[in-house]
Structure 1
Amino acid sequence: MKITITAAANQWFHEDMGVTPGNGVRFYGKTYGKTAVHSGFSIGLARDDEPHQPIASTVVDGVNYYVNDRDEWFFKGYDLTVDYDEANDGPKYDYVPNNED
């Protein structure tokens, strides 16, 4: 799994969530909601500076964006691209199929 954070999304995280270098943002699967690839589940995010066995991570401007192993079920078979959605003034997510089992 690969995580991509666009410049616009990174700016949103810095401005709206107040993240600074050394901070972390964890993405995870949660019950209820819907995504382009899941019915009954949606993506969540939390400010979390201490990853627990991450399966994927990327550092942008000193901020660690990651997914822990316990959320592998939600992201299995997909790469995650996080962009900024101007209409909703928040992140939007694109799930890109990959060749992982």
Structure 2
Amino acid sequence: MQISVTDRASQWFQDEMGLQHGMGVRFFGKVYGKTPVHDGFSIGMSRDDHPIDPIVDTEKDGIHYFVAELDEWFFKGFDLTIEYDPKTDGPIYEYQQNNELE
């Protein structure tokens, strides 16, 4: 699994969550909602400056964006790209299938 964060999305996280160098954002699966790849589940995020057993940890502008091993089930088989949507003034999550399931 890989996480990619666009420049504008990174700026949004810093502005909206007050993130500074060395801080982090954890992504996880949560009950209810829908994604293009999961029905009944949606993506959640929270500020987390101390990753425990990350399966992926991408640093962008000094901020860590990661998924913990506990949440591998939600992301297995996909790479995650996080972009910014000016219409909603928030992040957009795009899933790209990878070969992890094989």
- Shorter chain as denominator, the TM-score bin is over 0.9
C-alpha offsets along residues 2-28 of structure 1, whole Å, 9 cap, x if unaligned?
000000100000111110001000000
- Alignment map for 1:83-98 (pairs within 5 Å): 83-98=83-98
- Alignment map for 1:1-101 (pairs within 5 Å): 1-101=1-101
- Same amino acid, percent of matched pairs: 57
TM-score normalized with structure 1 length: 0.98
Superposition deviation, residue 85 in structure 1: 1.0
Rounded to whole Å, the distance in 1 between the matches of 2:12 and 2:5 is 11
Structure 2 unaligned segments of length 5 or more: list them: none
Q: After TM superposition, which residue ranges in structure 1, 4 or more long, deviate above 2 angstroms?
A: none
Amino acid at match of 1:97: Q
TM-score normalized with structure 2 length: 0.97
Secondary structure of the structure 2 residue equivalent to 1:71: helix
Rounded to whole Å, the distance in 1 between the matches of 2:85 and 2:69 is 27
Structure 1 unaligned segments of length 5 or more: list them: none
Residue-pair matches, total: 101
Secondary structure of the structure 2 residue equivalent to 1:65: strand
